[in-house]
Amino acid sequence: MSPTIARLVVLILLFVAVFLLAELAISAVRRRSSETRAINKRLRMIEGGMGRELVSSKLRKSQPFEFASGNGFIGKALANIQQSVIASGVAMPAHQIMLAMALGSALVTVIVIIGAAIAGYAINFGSVQLALVVGLAIGLGIPLVILSRIASKRRQKMQEQFPVALDIFIRGLRSGHPVSSALDLLTKEMEDPLGSEFGLVLDEVAYGADVRDALQSMADRWGLEDIQMFVVSLSVQNETGGNLAEILTNLSSVIRERTSMYMKVRALSSEGRMTALVLTALPLLTISGLFLLNPSFYLDVAQDPIFVPGFLGLVVLYFIGFFTIRRMIDLKV
C-alpha cells in the first residue's frame, strides 16, 4: 500500500472516530437534558438530599407577600414589583431585590456626579437632575424591564401548563385518589414552574395549612384567573358537595376555550405588544448607553438654565406615554 493511500485511510478512520465520538457526546447531552427537563426544580433539590423544609424555604425566597394589600399608587407599584419577582423565579426575596436596585441607582447617581465634578463640569441642579435620571434608568428601569420580561414568559408557560395539570388532577380523582394525592401527582409529573408551585402547596399542607388556603396563596402569588377559578371550584364543591371530577372537567373545557381565545388575542396584538416593549425600553437604553459612551453629550447642555424644565418635561412625557401604552396593551380575555 502506497503512503498516500495509507494516509488517506488513516484520515478517514480519524474522521469516522471523531464523528462517532461527537455523536455519542451529543446524544449523552440530549439524554441528560431531557432527563433534567422531566423533573422540576423541587424534585431535583429533594433528590440531591435536601429536606422538605429546606427546599420549601429556598423556593419561597420571595415570600411573604408583604405588599399584596398595599393601598395607593406606591403600594400597588410595590405589589406589582413583588409579584414580578415571584413569577420570574429569582432566588432572592423581593425586598432584597428592591433594596439592591435602590442602592444601585444611588451608587450610579453618586458616580455620575463625582465624575462630572472631576471632568470640570459645574455641579448645579441640572447636572444633579441628569445624574438622578441616569441612575434610575440604569439601576431601576432596565432591571425592572428585564424582570418583567422574564416574569411574563414564566406566567405564559404557567398558563400553558395549567390545563394539562388539571387533566392529570382529574384523572387522579377518577382513579380514587384524594385531593392531596392528586396534587402530589402534579408535583411529580409537571415541569417548572407549575410542578414546584404545587410542591409548595403540598409542603404548606404538610405543615398544617388547609388545602384551599395553600392553593389560594398560590393564586395570589401568580395572579392568574385560571388558578383562581380552580380554587373557587374546590371551595364551592367542599361547601355544597357534588362530583369534583365533573366540575373540574367542565372547568378544564372553559379554561381551554379561554386559552384558545387568549392565544388568538395575543397573536393579533403581538405587533402592538412588541412596539410597546420597544417604546418602553428604548428610551432607557438610549439615555444609559449614550451617557456611558459620551457623557459630555448631556453634561454640556446640563449647564443651560432651560435644561431643567425641558428635561423634566421629557421625563413626565415618558411616564405619560408609558402608562398610556400599558393601558392600550392590557387586554382582558
The 10s digit of each residue's pLDDT in 220-250 is 888 888 888 888 888 888 888 778 888 889 9
**Top-confidence range, 73-77, 107-111, 119-123, 192-196:** 107-111
Higher pLDDT, residue 163 or 81: 163
> Rounded distance, CA 161 to CA 184, Å?
16
Higher pLDDT, residue 3 or 269: 269
Per residue, what are the HEC states of the chain?
CCHHHHHHHHHHHHHHHHHHHHHHHHHHHHHHHHHHHCCCHHHHHHHCCCCHHHHHHHHCCCCCCCCCCCCHHHHHHHHHHHHHHHHHCCCCCHHHHHHHHHHHHHHHHHHHHHHHHHCCCCCCHHHHHHHHHHHHHHHHHHHHHHHHHHHHHHHHHHHHHHHHHHHHHHHHHHCCCCHHHHHHHHHHHCCCCHHHHHHHHHHHHHCCCCHHHHHHHHHHHHCCHHHHHHHHHHHHHHHHCCCHHHHHHHHHHHHHHHHHHHHHHHHHCHHHHHHHHHHHHHHHHHHHHHHHHCCHHHHCHHHCCCHHHHHHHHHHHHHHHHHHHHHHHCCCC
- Residue 252 confidence class, pLDDT cut points 50, 70, 90: confident
C-alpha to C-alpha distances, 128 to 48, 213, 281, 297, nearest whole angstrom: 51, 49, 23, 15
Residue 65 has pLDDT above 50, yes or no: no
> Rounded distance, CA 103 to CA 135, Å?
10
Q: What is the largest CA-CA distance in the chain?
A: 91
* Torsion angle defined by CA atoms of residues 136, 139, 140 and 144, in that order, rounded to the nearest 10 degrees: 150
Residues 152/160, Cβ–Cβ less than 8 Å: no
- Specify the pTM: 0.70
Going by C-alpha positions, the residue among 161, 196, 202, 167 that lies closest to residue 181 is: 202
Burial of 308 (0-12, 13-18, 19+ CB in 10 A): middle
The 10s digit of each residue's pLDDT in 205-222 is 888 888 888 888 888 888
Residue 107 has pLDDT above 90, yes or no: yes
Higher pLDDT, residue 166 or 27: 166
What mean pLDDT do residues 131-148 have?
88
Q: Give percent above pLDDT 90 in the chain.
A: 4
> Can you say whether residue 72 is alpha, beta or left, with left for phi > 0 and alpha for psi between -120 and 50 degrees?
left
The 10s digit of each residue's pLDDT in 265-294 is 878 888 888 888 888 888 888 888 888 888
